């Protein structure tokens, strides 16, 4: 299949590579020329604008940072909408505000272009090995038509409802992840401050009810003080802010989410916004006046 891919960042680049390796013809667009060159070396074709991407393909995929980027790429000058043609479909894999997904879908629908919102979870490691989890919103028929494309990049592809539902599910996911990262951070600092080896505590509790995918992925990073971003604090701040806005709009209080947003914002103020969200442990280190160490 001839597919357009716009947004070749930490997540988008390995996802696009997996599509190329699966035999799909890709037309790619990104502001980073070096990353585009990396994809074209694998056989992809580059395009100068989102419009040019859309004109050449049957399906456009986007993996962008936030709602304004998606609106610009789709609805802005030289955007996907300007390259719309019969038979084109669009899947946005970005994590954005659900209301923006619906707004973009309505604009595309007016030109006969169907859309899915399909945000992902799993971070860079799962993007690389093609085992991401997709949370999808949109028409069942469109989901059925392109599920096999998403399956190249993910191990779990679940349609949760109509357009916007994918991003509602993703925000729920981000709430759970943030609370888990905070709980692991708090527990490890608590153990070390109490005079017990934090790594030993991690090994002791990981196999019980406290164990989780988040703990397995993030506790070793905390212990190694390896905050190389798989998912940046600044992006989690964006997701939590979207969750709070959405919660307010539907009357769903999210007090834990609000607390986590303030904690991550404090880290941003301290200059850690480009680090991995496992760096949340530094918030607790500052409170406890200690530094987490591996034995």
Q: Which residues neighbour 186 within 8 Å (Cβ) at sequence distance 6 or greater?
A: 284
Residues 51, 170, 218, 238: which is the catalytic one?
170
CA dist 182 to 177, 278, 280, 289, Å?
9, 8, 7, 17
190: left (phi over 0), alpha (psi -120 to 50) or beta: alpha
State how far the Cα of 86 lies from the Cα of 177, in Å rounded to an integer.
40
Give the 3-state secondary structure of residue 120.
strand
Helix/strand/coil percentages in the chain, nearest 5: 55, 15, 30
C-alpha closest to that of 214 among 280, 286, 273: 280
Give the 3-state secondary structure of residue 273.
coil
Give the 3-state secondary structure of residue 52.
helix
Query: Counting Cβ atoms within 10 Å, is residue 141 exposed (0-12), middle (13-18) or buried (19+)?
Result: exposed
Annotation says 170 is catalytic: yes
**Which residues, in sequence order, are bridge partners of residue 156?**
133
State how far the Cα of 84 lies from the Cα of 97, in Å rounded to an integer.
23
* Residues with a known catalytic role: 170
């Amino acid at each position: 299949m001839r597919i357009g891919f716009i947004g070749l960042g930490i997540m988008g680049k390995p996802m696009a590579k997996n599509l190329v390796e699966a035999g799909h013809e890709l037309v790619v667009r990104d502001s980073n020329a070096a990353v585009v060159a990396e994809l074209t070396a694998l056989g992809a074709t580059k395009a100068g604008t989102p419009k040019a991407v859309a004109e050449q393909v049957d399906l456009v995929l986007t993996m962008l940072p936030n709602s304004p980027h998606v609106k610009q790429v789709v609805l802005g000058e030289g955007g996907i909408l300007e390259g719309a043609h019969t038979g084109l479909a669009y899947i946005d894999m970005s994590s954005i505000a659900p209301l923006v997904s619906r707004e973009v879908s309505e604009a595309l629908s007016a030109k006969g272009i169907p859309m899915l919102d399909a945000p992902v979870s799993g971070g860079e490691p799962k993007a690389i090995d093609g085992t991401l989890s997709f949370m999808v919103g949109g028409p069942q028929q469109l989901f059925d038509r392109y599920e096999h494309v998403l399956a190249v990049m993910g191990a779990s592809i679940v349609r949760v409802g109509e357009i916007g539902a994918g991003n509602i599910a993703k925000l729920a996911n981000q709430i759970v992840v943030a609370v888990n990262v905070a709980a692991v951070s708090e527990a490890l600092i608590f153990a070390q401050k109490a005079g017990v080896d934090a790594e030993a505590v991690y090994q002791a509790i990981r196999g019980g009810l406290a164990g989780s995918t988040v703990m397995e992925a993030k506790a070793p990073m905390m212990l190694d003080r390896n905050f190389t971003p798989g998912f940046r604090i600044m992006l989690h701040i964006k997701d939590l802010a979207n969750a709070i806005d959405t919660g307010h709009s539907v009357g769903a209080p999210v007090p834990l989410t609000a607390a986590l947003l303030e904690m991550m914002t404090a880290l941003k103020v301290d200059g850690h916004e480009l680090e991995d969200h496992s760096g949340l442990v530094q918030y607790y280190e500052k409170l406890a006046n200690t530094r987490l160490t591996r034995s």
